[in-house]
Chains A and B, each alone.
Chain A
Amino acid sequence: MAHTLLIVDDSASMRQMVSFTLKDAGYEVISANNGKDALAKINNAKISMVITDLNMPEMDGIELIRQLRGLPGFKFTPIVMLTTESQDSKKMAGKQAGASGWIVKPFKPQQLLDTIKKFVK
């Protein structure tokens, strides 16, 4: 059974191309356009990994991670930030919130897939 990944990004084109890359590699994908939307879409789905942007309206990536880590099913779920932000202070904030990794945009498809493979066996 294919793993389900949650993609959170306020850019429709980013959601589209990340979904395309992951679906092409055989993963199931749930897309959300911000943290709040992501929390609403999770329901009871078994999410193997979360890939989220940092700067988003309504609820940003850091707050999403904090809220997800508070949920019983997401305590150990890998959560990787996929963002244009590259400042160490922001990375540290992400790490403290509970992020498992950080990928700076623009990303290479193989780089993203390799990162996913490290977390999702």
Chain B
Amino acid sequence: MICSDKKHFALICIFLLAATAPSLISNYGTRLITAGIVVIILAVLSHRMISRFGKSALQQETVEDLPVPDSTTVPHNESVLKQLSANLQVFPVLVNQLETVIQETENAVLEIGERFMEIVSRARGQASRSANAFADFAGSSEQNGSPLIEQSKTALSAVIGNLRKVSDVARHTLVNMRNATDTMGNIRDVVLEIEYIADQTNLLALNASIEAARAGDQGRGFAVVADEVRKLSARSTTAASQIGKLIRTVESDIQGMYEETEGNAGRTEKLSRESESIINETMDSLNKSMMHAKEELDGLAKDTDSLAQDISGIVISMQFQDITRQKIEHVIEPLRTISGNHQRMSALLSGEEAASDASHQPDDMSWMENMYTMESERQIMKDTLSHSEPEIW
């Protein structure tokens, strides 16, 4: 520094002497030419000096707190350089570590996310398959086809209907039989009338025979007729008696058939009622079971939906990884900048030409604030800086 000041003093003296030299020349023309030459020489020298002085001043300003590399501070500089060199090796390691953390976290989150999505997919598939299986069996409002339970109901109702028809036919047969029995009663009356007519005819024939005998020979022919009428009357009586017997037999048969049919109809009706009751009870029980199964299935579907939503929530909450990644990247970027600054400081201390990189200086905090995207990052920066500033009362 002292050496530099001596050089500057000597140069200034030369400038002053050169500037006053033309005034010593008496000839006007020669004095003018000499003054011009001196001005050009001084301008060139001044430019060189300003360039050198400016550069020196800039270096001094940049490393104003760093020791000047003279004989007393060289060991100290070497120590700082060593430390800077060690730091420069640390920065890439830190950056790589952080980048690895980002990559590993992302891989882990992707894998966890994929597995959770598989769980949701399986749960939804299972609930859907259960609902479809139930719909095939019990039917659903969305389904057009006749489900198994409805088909069973229809078939069993048809069986009950057929049983009722059998019972109805039997009842109808009983009515017909009763009508037939009534008709038999009418026939019996007719037979009684025939028997009465036969008896009267017989009595009439007897009277005619008596009257014919009383008439003598003249009544002999009439006696033959009367006898024939009596015979016919006897045959009529016999026929009426036979008809009466047959009617009783038919009545007895009809009565037997009636009782049997009535018994069958009663049993069929009872069977039909019992079957209907059993089928209704079974259907009620089946319906209750179906309702219960449906409720259970609805509950399962709701649980599955809830599970899927919970897992979706978990998957979504894993977006912290993206946020963490960006926050780490916002640490990596300043680390790279600080590393670049260390490199320049190291170069300056070594006396080498520092790379004219446009990196930000650590004391310029606005670039960091611009880099941050999250309000939380900006808040942390704000809080940290406000805490680090001294409080003056």
- Partner-B contacts on A (CB < 8 A): 9, 11-14, 16-17, 20-21, 24, 54-55, 83-87, 90, 105-109
Contact = CB atoms under 8 A, between A and B. Distances in A.
B117 to A, nearest CB: 5
Given A17-B315, A109-B313, A12 B106 contact: yes
B308 interface: yes
Interface in B181-217: none
Given A12-B106, A87-B373, A90-B373, 9 more contacts: A13-B109, A13-B322, A16-B110, A17-B315, A24-B120, A84-B326, A86-B374, A105-B323, A109-B316
B113 A83 contact: no
Contact of B308 (A24, A84, A105): A24
A11 to B, nearest CB: 4
Contacts of A84: 322-323, 326, 373-374
B261 interface: no
Contacts of A90: 373
B337 interface: no
Contacts of A87: 373
B237 to A, nearest CB: 101
A20 B318 contact: no
A21 to B, nearest CB: 7
A20 B323 contact: no
B173 to A, nearest CB: 66
22 contacts: A11-B106, A11-B322, A12-B110, A13-B106, A16-B114, A17-B315, A17-B316, A20-B117, A20-B312, A24-B120, A24-B308, A55-B326, A84-B373, A86-B373, A86-B375, A105-B319, A105-B323, A106-B316, A106-B319, A106-B320, A107-B319, A109-B316
B323 A17 contact: no
Interface in B306-328: 308, 312-313, 315-323, 325-326
Question: Which residue among A17, A21, A24, A83 has the maximum number of chain B CB atoms within 10 Å of its CB?
Answer: A17
Nearest to B315: A17
Contact of A83 (B313, B317, B318, B373): B373
- Determine the interface band of chain B, counting residues with CB < 8 A from chain A: 20 to 34
A109 B310 CA distance: 11
Given A13-B318, A84-B323, A20 B113 contact: yes
A54 B148 CA distance: 57
A17 B106 contact: no
Given A20-B117, A109-B313, A109-B316, A14 B373 contact: no
A13 B321 contact: yes
A9 B326 CA distance: 12
Contacts of B320: 106
A13 B108 CA distance: 9
B375 A13 contact: no
A86 B379 CA distance: 12
A54 B373 contact: yes
A14 B316 contact: no
Interface string B315-356: 111111111011000000000000000000000000000000
A106 B325 CA distance: 13
A20 B374 CA distance: 25
Contacts of B109: 13
B312 A13 contact: no
A13 B308 contact: no
B186 to A, nearest CB: 84
A14 B117 contact: no
A84 B322 CA distance: 9
Contacts of B321: 11, 13
Contacts of A54: 373
